[in-house]
Amino acid sequence: MNWGVLRGEWGAVTFVLTVILGMIVVPLALYLANVSPGAITTPNISTASGARASGVATSAR
């Protein structure tokens, strides 16, 4: 290996190593972010309500 070329092109070597590292880290991070322990459950909450007084006093004219 010619170390003179490596020293002269350290920016290109660093770029290539960064791209290779990114090809490993990004898919791994995406996989781990989307792994869930089970199905997502939503609570069964009824949002319907009957009519009731608001408690706000209004002036009748």
Position 19 in a domain? yes
Three-point CA angle 38, 39, 45, nearest 5°: 130
Cβ(32)–Cβ(25) below 8 Å: no
Measured in degrees and rounded to the nearest 5, phi and psi for residue 53 equal -70, 145
Task: Please state whether the predicted TM-score (pTM) of the whole model is above 0.85.
Answer: no
Helix, strand, coil content of the chain in percent (nearest 5)? 50, 0, 50
Position 61 in a domain? no
- Percent of the chain predicted with pLDDT > 90: 25
Position 60 in a domain? no
| Domain boundaries, position 29 | 3-34
Q: Into how many domains does the chain fold?
A: 1
Q: Per residue in 24-45, pLDDT tens?
A: 999 999 898 887 666 666 777 7
pLDDT at 61 over 90: no
**Token digits of residue 9:** 């092109």
Residue 15: the pLDDT is: 93
Position 49 in a domain? no
Position 17 in a domain? yes
pLDDT at 53 over 80: no
